[in-house]
Amino acid sequence: MAMNSTGRGETRPANDTAAATATFTGNRGLQIEESLIFEQGQAGRTAVDLPAPMTTATRLGKVKPRAAIGLPGLSEPQVIRHFTRLSQKNFAIDSGFYPLGSCTMKHNPRLNEAMARLPGFADIHPLQPVSTVQGALELIDDLAEWLLALTGMAAVAMSPGAGAHGEQCGMIAIRAALEARGDKRSKVLVPESAHGTNPATAAALGYAVESIPATAEGRVDLEALKAKLGPDVAALMLTNPNTCGLFEGDIVEIARLVHAAGALFYCDGANFNAIVGRVRPADLGIDAMHINLHKTFSTPHGGGGPGAGPVVLSEALAPFAPANAVVRGPDGFRLIEHPEGQSFGRLKAFQGQMGMFVRALTYILSHGADGLFQASSDAVLNANYIMASLKDVMSPAFDGPCMHEALFDDSFLKDTGVSTLDFAKAMLDEGYHPMTVYFPLVVHGAMLIEPTESESKESLDLFIGTMRHLAERARSGDAAHFTGAPRLTPRRRLDETSAARKPVLRWRPTEVLDEAAE
Amino acid sequence: MRYLPLTSDDRVAMLARIGAPSVDALFADVPESARRSGPITGLPDHEGELGVERQLKALAARNVPAGSVPSFLGAGAYRHHVPAAVDHLIQRGEFLTSYTPYQPEVSQGTLQYLFEFQTQVALLTGMDVANASMYDGSTACAEAVMMANRVTRRSHAVLSGGLHPHYAEVTRTQARWTNFTAADAPPDVDGAEDLAALIDSNTSCVVVQNPSVFGHVKDLSALAEACHAKGALLIVVVTEVISLGLLTPPGEMGADIVVAEGQSIGNALNFGGPYVGLFATREKFLRQMPGRLCGETTDAEGRRGWVLTLSTREQHIRREKATSNICTNSGLCALAFTIHLSLLGEAGLTGLARLNHATAVTLADRLAKAPGVTVVTDAFFNEFTVRLPCDAASVVEALAGQGILAGVPVSRLIPGVPELANLLLVAATETNTQADIDAFATALGGIV
């Protein structure tokens, strides 16, 4: 079809100034400013049409129906547009590289979502007769069997709702096992590189937390550990691979020492993605480990949850697992809903994060033993490739091969006037989610890069090129580029200090302010 | 393998840059006794979408979806209609595949909906402030008790006999292992318990559920006064959050902390999870509140924006001195809640609540006509207890055989108590039709 180009001018824009990009609406093309849902609603509007009630009779006794709630009314097109616009202000794995160390931001396969939405999984009630949910119980059992095969452990507690919840599960099991043998111990040892949840969990159970220093090689200081181990130590909590992205090569010896002291060994499984299918934690001598299904097994992070944190347990801890438990019997599957025997109790209503179990099992079946082996291999290869490609312009925190994440310190930024945070913010303008920054605490200005197995070599090469460019730019004296970053994101740096000093945690109607002004 | 982009050539080139002879060499730190050079044997290998789908669908087919039959199950999880828009929006990759908003400049979408969620929860519960969600209602309940212990510097909780037994058990488990005490009142079947008499100078809080697990709705104002007179906090638990569209909110009755299971708004039954815990309190207790909080602020150009705030309470800053070890919340379920409640709005939620109540009233009247069946709960929202002339668990099993999910036998939640064996918890929602009610009543009449 011929185009009528009459009156068509030059299609290339003229050179712009900052003022010329200012708009009447504050919008920037596809990036649209969006007010709160409460600022858009009108009384009387709704996006849900309901049938007439069967009766007008009520049975509320002395309780009065409530007065107005204050919720806004909107139609469906308004709600769809509102949340679509909000979504467009988010960085996500689907849109870009998200190398957030310790979080395993791998691809979330869409088959997993489809399977979790099958009515046979999504639309079953947790208290339906057990005879009507045999397939669901089998799914939980199948996933449990896979987790046991991949870890080599004796038992698994499926109910914890997240990694930190799983930590608590494992540590309670440890305390219960010690008390069952009449052994009251008061201390838990935690390396200083640990996730904050480890000491928080141990302290909540009444343990004094003692820190174990790291060696210059980023591993647990074996001599310091030996010195602290004694009859008052209940457990060691250790992440392996550790938060420096390194494998604790002495782990078998560490396990031996811990057990020789009568203590138990909790392993934080946050970094299981590095070794899944390649190393079975049972072969390392641990007693308990949580598995973040939302990391290793790709259930979506969802903006901060829901997660799932099943805990694998050794023979010694298995009897103490919490309710619920699925049991395979001759006449099908049974559900044990009330703590029996030495079980330490219940951590959560019902059976756990079923929706996450479906996704995780789908992921596992898709990969199989060979795919899981390849996935952890690629995750480690990708991290080492980044490390090898950046070590001359950035500063690796430790020597030698890393596992699935590459850790740098900020010594390459010394005297540039650029901090780790500034560097991270400049990455935002380049279209990358920054790595984890300032964690682990044992490394100055830490930058923890976890690429996962989901990135292609092309993607890694562009990232490496970007990081090299930024590192060189920082060292060339262009600090202002970093300290003023980001400039191109939906918002520029936000004032976190004033947010904390005078917290505004909810919307309130402006009439109150207007009345005060009048 | 469809999820893995590296080719064999890529791997060779990358190893060359690294200077390692093989990927196995990168695992040299793993003790030799634990190192494997190939996949774990005895497990199946990778499988295409078609094959995986076949396996999962076979498992799904062996369950009876609640929506495929007349279903009257409640007791902490409720089947409601969720508008199609909710699932469409939460599956947008920008929501689904992002993480905790650590970099607020590129996370304003998540932060803004969390701010909206917090506001909605505060409005619904009648409280000043709410957090960005907890794992579920039961864990929120236990966290509320621990918060009350911190606020009051006391260590004994009184749990109502109308509290969901799983919630009570979760709280007792935390009590046992994190060193406080929690005393259960006996099951409050008739809704007549007097908790005020159990409060003393060591009581940090009274935990009461409204509507109770047996369905009773109550005015809790007098209990709140009794708590406050002795320096204790009143924690109100709500497991059916739709009820807040009709009933006086806990905040108006004097509650100090309100926790709720938010599943009913926006979230499917999912066999028990993932769900979303709501947590709200008074402004004065803000700094003792667990979980993530989103707050309003401005950016470098003075534009309004949102950040995670007051993180000095949290584990990643405070470590062993944190208010809680909680790290993740239930973000995507909170988003589903926020979207569904935005769709409902004031008129939709109050209409939906009235509809639920009306359906339950109709069901109660109908079941009461069955021979030997009495409705135990006088004042209720959408769930009530009936006493059958025989064992409730057997009746539920028999009706399941006839394709009716009749409710939850109390013995499933509280086993081994003969006087509770004939009690059945029955819930009705907007998803139940007159035909469902007729089928249930007729089938029940045929059994008892």
* Helix, coil or strand: residue A477: coil
Count of CB atoms situated within 10 Å of the CB of A335: 19
How far apart CA A435 and CA B176 sit, in angstroms, is 39
Asked if residue A359 and residue A382 are part of one domain, the reply reads no
Mean pLDDT computed over every residue of chain B: 96
Mutate to test the interface with A, among B3, B238, B301 (most CBs of A within 10 A): B3
Sign of CA dihedral A367, A368, A370, A374: positive
Asked if residue B356 and residue B324 are part of one domain, the reply reads no
Q: Cis bond leading into A486, ω under 30°?
A: yes
Evaluate whether residue A184 is within a structural domain: yes
Task: Check if A81 contacts B (Cβ < 8 Å).
Answer: no
Residue A236 structure tokens: 């060691």
Q: What is the per-residue pLDDT across B241-264, written as a single tens digit (0 to 9) for each? A: 999 999 999 999 999 999 999 999
Q: What is the pLDDT of residue B79?
A: 98
Asked if residue B331 and residue B205 are part of one domain, the reply reads yes
Q: By CA distance, what is A281's nearest residue in B?
A: B34
Domain boundary among B325, B340, B355: B340
Closest CA relative to residue A268, chosen from A287, A289, A252, A247: A289
Count of CB atoms situated within 10 Å of the CB of B355: 22
Domain boundary among B289, B308, B340: B340
Is A506 in Cβ contact with B118 (below 8 Å)?
yes
Asked if residues B345 and A45 have their Cβ atoms less than 8 Å apart, the reply is yes
Residue B448: pLDDT over 50: yes
Asked if residue A320 and residue A223 are part of one domain, the reply reads yes
Residue B339: pLDDT over 70: yes
Asked if residues B77 and B426 have their Cβ atoms less than 8 Å apart, the reply is no
Greatest alpha-carbon pair distance for chain A in Å reads 92
Residue B313: pLDDT over 50: yes
Sequence-ordered list of residues with C-beta below 8 angstroms from that of A47, at least 6 positions apart, any chain: A74, A75, A76, A78, A79, B83, B85, B342, B343, B344, B345, B348
Evaluate whether residue B23 is within a structural domain: no
How far apart CA A489 and CA B136 sit, in angstroms, is 33
Partner-chain residue, chosen from B298, B320, B327, that has the shortest CB–CB distance to A209 = B320
Element at A313 (helix H, strand E):
strand A311-313
Sign of CA dihedral A38, B356, A123, A304: positive
Asked if residues A409 and A445 have their Cβ atoms less than 8 Å apart, the reply is yes
Residue B421 to chain A, least CA–CA distance (Å): 16
Closest CA relative to residue A364, chosen from A248, A473, A273: A273
Evaluate whether residue A53 is within a structural domain: no
Is B101 in Cβ contact with A303 (below 8 Å)?
yes
How many folded domains does chain A comprise? Answer: 2
Task: Check if A186 contacts B (Cβ < 8 Å).
Answer: no
Mutate to test the interface with B, among A75, A84, A91 (most CBs of B within 10 A): A91
Domain boundary among B340, B371, B396: B340
Evaluate whether residue B2 is within a structural domain: no
Asked if residue B275 and residue B400 are part of one domain, the reply reads no
0.90 exceeded by pTM = yes
Evaluate whether residue B30 is within a structural domain: no
Q: What is the pLDDT of residue A8?
A: 67
Which range (A314-318, A387-391, B324-328) has the least confidence? B324-328
Mean pLDDT of the B283-293 span: 95
Partner-chain residue, chosen from B34, B335, B348, that has the shortest CB–CB distance to A280 = B34
Paired sense of beta strands B423-427 and B408-409, if any: antiparallel
Count of CB atoms situated within 10 Å of the CB of A306: 31
- Confidence class for position B187, pLDDT limits 50, 70, 90: very high
Asked if residue A265 and residue A133 are part of one domain, the reply reads yes
Residue B143: pLDDT over 50: yes
Evaluate whether residue A498 is within a structural domain: no
Strand partners, A332: A329
Asked if residue A374 and residue A358 are part of one domain, the reply reads no
Residues of chain B in contact with residue A51, where contact means CB-CB under 8 angstroms, are 355, 430
Sequence-ordered list of residues with C-beta below 8 angstroms from that of A64, at least 6 positions apart, any chain: B219, B248
Mutate to test the interface with A, among B10, B22, B30, B214 (most CBs of A within 10 A): B30
Asked if residue B244 and residue B161 are part of one domain, the reply reads yes
Residue A314 to chain B, least CA–CA distance (Å): 16
Strand order in the sheet with A406-409: A395-396, A406-409, A447-449, A436-437
Evaluate whether residue B48 is within a structural domain: no
How far apart CA A87 and CA B110 sit, in angstroms, is 7
Q: What is the pLDDT of residue A41?
A: 86
Q: What is the per-residue pLDDT across B194-245, written as a single tens digit (0 to 9) for each? A: 999 999 999 999 999 999 999 999 999 999 999 999 999 999 999 999 999 9
Asked if residue A436 and residue A351 are part of one domain, the reply reads no
Query: What CATH number did the domain enclosing B170 receive?
Result: 3.40.640.10
Asked if residues B328 and B336 have their Cβ atoms less than 8 Å apart, the reply is no
- Confidence class for position A151, pLDDT limits 50, 70, 90: very high
Asked if residue B405 and residue B329 are part of one domain, the reply reads no
Count of CB atoms situated within 10 Å of the CB of B104: 24
How far apart CA A246 and CA A231 sit, in angstroms, is 29
Mean pLDDT of the B34-63 span: 96
Q: How far is CA B380 from CA A376, B147, B211, B212, in A?
A: 54, 29, 7, 9
Domain boundary among A335, A365, A395: A365
Q: What is the per-residue pLDDT across B387-426, written as a single tens digit (0 to 9) for each? A: 999 999 999 999 999 999 999 999 999 999 999 999 999 9
Residue percentage of chain A with pLDDT more than 70: 95
Evaluate whether residue B370 is within a structural domain: yes
Task: Check if A162 contacts B (Cβ < 8 Å).
Answer: yes
Asked if residue A459 and residue A406 are part of one domain, the reply reads yes
Evaluate whether residue B29 is within a structural domain: no
Residue A118 structure tokens: 């099958």
How far apart CA A181 and CA A320 sit, in angstroms, is 12
Asked if residues B56 and A354 have their Cβ atoms less than 8 Å apart, the reply is no
Domain boundary among A339, A365, A391: A365
- Confidence class for position B311, pLDDT limits 50, 70, 90: confident
Q: What is the pLDDT of residue A518?
A: 47
Residue A516: pLDDT over 50: no
How many folded domains does chain B comprise? Answer: 2
Phi–psi pair at A193, nearest 5 degrees: -85, 0
Is A277 in Cβ contact with B272 (below 8 Å)?
no
Residue in the block written with tokens 């709704």: A46
Count of CB atoms situated within 10 Å of the CB of B48: 12
Is A348 in Cβ contact with B139 (below 8 Å)?
yes
Question: What is the 3 state secondary structure string of chain B?
Answer: CCCCCCCHHHHHHHHHHHCCCCHHHHCCCCCHHHCCCCCCCCCCECCCHHHHHHHHHHHHCCECCHHHCCECCCCCCCCCCCCHHHHHHHCCHHHHCCCCCCCHHHEHHHHHHHHHHHHHHHHHHCCCEECCCECCHHHHHHHHHHHHHHHHCCCEEEECCCCCHHHHHHHHHHHHHHCCEEEECCCCCCCCCCCHHHCCCCEEEEEEECCCCCCECCCCHHHHHHHHHCCCEEEEEECCHHHHHCECCHHHHCCCEEEEECCCCCCCCHHHCCCCEEEEECHHHHHHCCCCCEEEEEECCCCEEEEECCHHHCHHHHHHHCCCCCCCCCHHHHHHHHHHHHHHHHHHHHHHHHHHHHHHHHHHHHHCCCCCCEECCCCECCEEEEECCCCHHHHHHHHHHCCCECCEEHHHHCCCCHHHCCEEEEECCCCCCHHHHHHHHHHHHHHC
- Confidence class for position A4, pLDDT limits 50, 70, 90: low
Strand order in the sheet with A233-239: A155-157, A311-313, A288-290, A264-268, A233-239, A187-191, A208-212
Asked if residues A23 and A31 have their Cβ atoms less than 8 Å apart, the reply is no
Count the residues in chain A: 518
Residue percentage of chain B with pLDDT more than 70: 97
- Confidence class for position B317, pLDDT limits 50, 70, 90: low
Q: What is the per-residue pLDDT across A384-436, written as a single tens digit (0 to 9) for each? A: 999 999 999 999 999 989 999 999 999 999 999 999 999 999 999 999 999 99
How far apart CA A507 and CA A491 sit, in angstroms, is 19
Asked if residue B94 and residue B149 are part of one domain, the reply reads yes
Task: Check if A247 contacts B (Cβ < 8 Å).
Answer: yes
Residue B322: pLDDT over 90: no
Is A305 in Cβ contact with B95 (below 8 Å)?
no
Strand partners, A449: A100, A406
Q: What is the pLDDT of residue A360?
A: 98
Is B303 in Cβ contact with A374 (below 8 Å)?
no
Asked if residue A342 and residue A259 are part of one domain, the reply reads yes
Query: What CATH number did the domain enclosing A422 receive?
Result: 3.90.1150.10
Task: Check if A2 contacts B (Cβ < 8 Å).
Answer: no
Q: By CA distance, what is A339's nearest residue in B?
A: B169
Asked if residue A356 and residue A220 are part of one domain, the reply reads yes
Residue in the block written with tokens 């409530």: A66
Asked if residue B149 and residue B76 are part of one domain, the reply reads no
Asked if residue B215 and residue B172 are part of one domain, the reply reads yes
Phi–psi pair at B109, nearest 5 degrees: -65, -50
Asked if residues A293 and A312 have their Cβ atoms less than 8 Å apart, the reply is no
Mean pLDDT computed over every residue of chain A: 94
Residue B127 to chain A, least CA–CA distance (Å): 11
Q: What is the per-residue pLDDT across A289-301, written as a single tens digit (0 to 9) for each? A: 999 999 999 999 9
Asked if residue B270 and residue B154 are part of one domain, the reply reads yes
Where does A122-205 show beta strands of DSSP type E? 155-157, 187-191
Closest CA relative to residue B216, chosen from B346, B381, B41: B381
Asked if residue A433 and residue A348 are part of one domain, the reply reads no
Sequence-ordered list of residues with C-beta below 8 angstroms from that of A49, at least 6 positions apart, any chain: none
Mutate to test the interface with B, among A34, A64, A87 (most CBs of B within 10 A): A87
How far apart CA B365 and CA B202 sit, in angstroms, is 44
Residue in the block written with tokens 């999984």: A121
Asked if residue A374 and residue A260 are part of one domain, the reply reads no
How far apart CA A454 and CA A371 sit, in angstroms, is 12
Is A103 in Cβ contact with B99 (below 8 Å)?
yes
ipTM surpassing 0.85: yes
How far apart CA A172 and CA A339 sit, in angstroms, is 14
Evaluate whether residue B47 is within a structural domain: no
Query: What CATH number did the domain enclosing A162 receive?
Result: 3.40.640.10
Evaluate whether residue B40 is within a structural domain: no
Evaluate whether residue A482 is within a structural domain: yes
What domain range is B409 assigned to?
67-81+346-447
Give the helix ranges, DSSP H, for A216-250: 222-228
Closest CA relative to residue A385, chosen from A455, A297, A475, A472: A455
Asked if residue B423 and residue B312 are part of one domain, the reply reads no
Is B56 in Cβ contact with A305 (below 8 Å)?
no
Residue percentage of chain B with pLDDT more than 90: 95
Q: What is the per-residue pLDDT across A220-276, written as a single tens digit (0 to 9) for each? A: 999 999 999 999 999 999 999 999 999 999 999 999 999 999 999 999 999 999 999
Asked if residue B293 and residue B402 are part of one domain, the reply reads no
Residue A236 to chain B, least CA–CA distance (Å): 15
Q: What is the pLDDT of residue B8?
A: 98
Asked if residue B413 and residue B314 are part of one domain, the reply reads no
Closest CA relative to residue A354, chosen from B171, B80, B44, B263: B263
Count of CB atoms situated within 10 Å of the CB of B302: 9
Asked if residue A375 and residue A354 are part of one domain, the reply reads no
Asked if residue A340 and residue A315 are part of one domain, the reply reads yes
What domain range is A333 assigned to?
113-365
Mean pLDDT of the B260-284 span: 98
